Amino acid sequence: MDEGMDEEQRIRGILAESKTIAVVGLSARTDRPSHEVAQYLQAHGYRILPVNPAYAGTHILGHPCHASLTEANAAIRKEGGRIDVVDCFRKSAEVGAAVDEAIAIGARAVWMQLGVVDDAAAARAEKAGLAVVMDKCIKIEHMQLR
């Protein structure tokens, strides 16, 4: 991403230019932060693609849940769409695999939720041309920029 761009501008750009957000680790449980965040994003016009192998084959927030980003990407490509943002609700120690998959499918951005930090994965994503946001909640950032 543009080196001269500050983080707020980068976040504003990601949120403004994105339509489809794959939520890795999205829970069907309404009391979980991932569900609350995805529901908020959906209410604000974003298309949500649930990604969670534990719920694969079910529906979350009215959309089929996929076992992997690769599977979610294949499904949206069939419709002529693409995944803009991969929002990661994974532990820091586990997020690298999701970031690598986001790079492989050609997502535009990777968003690591509050408390999720993996500098090496972020560096890989940036080197591959993806915008990266780390250790921030996409819902909180969206609310602050509205």
Digit-coded pLDDT (tens) for 70-127: 999 999 999 999 999 999 999 999 999 999 999 999 999 999 999 999 999 999 999 9
CATH architecture of structural domain 7-145: 3-Layer(aba) Sandwich (3.40)
- In the block, tokens 């990777």 appear at 110
| Residue 28 φ/ψ, nearest 5 degrees | -75, -15
Digit-coded pLDDT (tens) for 21-52: 999 999 999 999 999 999 999 999 999 999 99
Looking at residue 66, the DSSP 8-state letter turns out to be B
- Long-range contact set of residues 63-66: C-beta below 8 Å, sequence gap at least 24: 65/26, 65/28
Residue spans of alpha helices (H) in 1-146:
7-17, 33-43, 69-78, 92-105, 119-127, 138-145
Q: What is this structure's pTM?
A: 0.95
111 DSSP β-pair partners? 87, 133
Please tell me the distance from the alpha carbon of residue 62 to that of residue 97, in angstroms, as a whole number: 26
